Amino acid sequence: MTTELKLPLYFDNNATTPCDPRVVDAMVPYLFEHYGNPASRAHAYGWVARDAVATARQQVASLIGAQPKEIVFTSGATESNNLALKGAARYLARKGKHIVTVSTEHKAILDSCHALEREGFEVTYLEVDSEGLISLDALRAAIRDDTTLVSVMFANNEIGVVQPIAEIGAICRENGVLFHCDGVQALAWMPIDVRAMKIDLLSMSAHKMYGPKGIGALFVRRGRPRVRVQPIIDGGGHERGMRSGTLPTHQIVGMGKAAELAAESIASGGVDKVRALRDRLWDGLRANLDELYINGSWEHRLPNNLNVSFAYVEGEAMMMGIKEIACSSGSACTSASLEPSYVLRALGVDVELAHTSIRFGLGRFNTEAEVDYAVELITRKVRFLREMSPLYEMVQEGIDLKSIQWTAH
């Protein structure tokens, strides 16, 4: 079986996805054959590029239930998050300077909030429960008269936990507060309707839904009252003045095609196939190993995400042992120390257990054979590493480690 597989296996689709060949095929003509600037209005090269951008804008808008004029192209989700938070907060600063977000948000949100704090804004960081979910009552309590913006991600990039977005949107709308959502991880995996969910600003990225890197978008709701953001990049007034810069036609075409394919996959059962692979991986691991712990809610979770802690196995040793599988460790290496993920710490996961966590992100191009290979390899390596763990041996003998009084000599 192993000879048929291309190693290493790619199980890191929450970090990035491979570009779908159909996306590549759509992009290639706009790299050389149709190379005009979409802003060039005096000749056919510009018109062709402009039409391609308009088509892609419609494709992206359709994926989330928006109108094409509500889509602002950016360089990616990091810029979209920065534009949404800084742009909306600064525009509404006269009304108030209070923002509400969550402690487990992506760094692009948290660091944007820290930057706004240095400008005099106040930020409330909501905590999550052991499942990774926020409390709606805590959100209601956090909103004040001077609150202008709430930012909650659709699905967490590490643990895949999906927040109650429609309920959050309703609370924000009731209180006259803008609701921004980082929708990056959810785009390829679940239906998003910005109208029904009362989302005012939604950040998107192409490379998390089988599109190219370097291109993203921000949904900015029109209507009454129209959502306005102060630009963070000045220039020629592209994208209705919200994001200046020559539009990268080929990347935009790629994002549009990726959005179209994502919508098809959600509607036709492609997502169910990936969920079945994820469940096959989890069931296989559970059948062969004990002391496994899922991080985050199982019920409210992306269909492709599995974040699991392998107790009594050191995370970095585990990653070295399964290097035939591309996945992510739950620890983030810093210059001075190996710290467990801030997301796992926010869930209350024990530090030792957090160090043993691995994130597996299944995707469109994975197969059952790859999953079965992964189960066999992971099982073998975990058993080997646990054989060297005196703590695991003690647990197998029925000793409660928490009852032991450790002494240093």
Query: What span, in angstroms and rounded, lies between the C-alpha atoms of 148 and 86?
Result: 12
* Cβ(318)–Cβ(355) below 8 Å: no
- Which residues contact residue 109 at a Cβ distance below 8 angstroms, ignoring those fewer than 6 apart? 81, 85, 101, 151, 153, 182
CA 192 to chain centroid: 14
- Which residues contact residue 29 at a Cβ distance below 8 angstroms, ignoring those fewer than 6 apart? none
Q: Is 333 a catalytic residue?
A: yes
Query: What span, in angstroms and rounded, lies between the C-alpha atoms of 148 and 374?
Result: 47
* Cβ(312)–Cβ(389) below 8 Å: yes
In the set 19, 172, 327, 333, the catalytic residue is 333
Query: What span, in angstroms and rounded, lies between the C-alpha atoms of 257 and 196?
Result: 24
* Cβ(135)–Cβ(108) below 8 Å: no
Beta partners for residue 72, in sequence order: 218
Question: Which amino acids are annotated catalytic?
Answer: 333
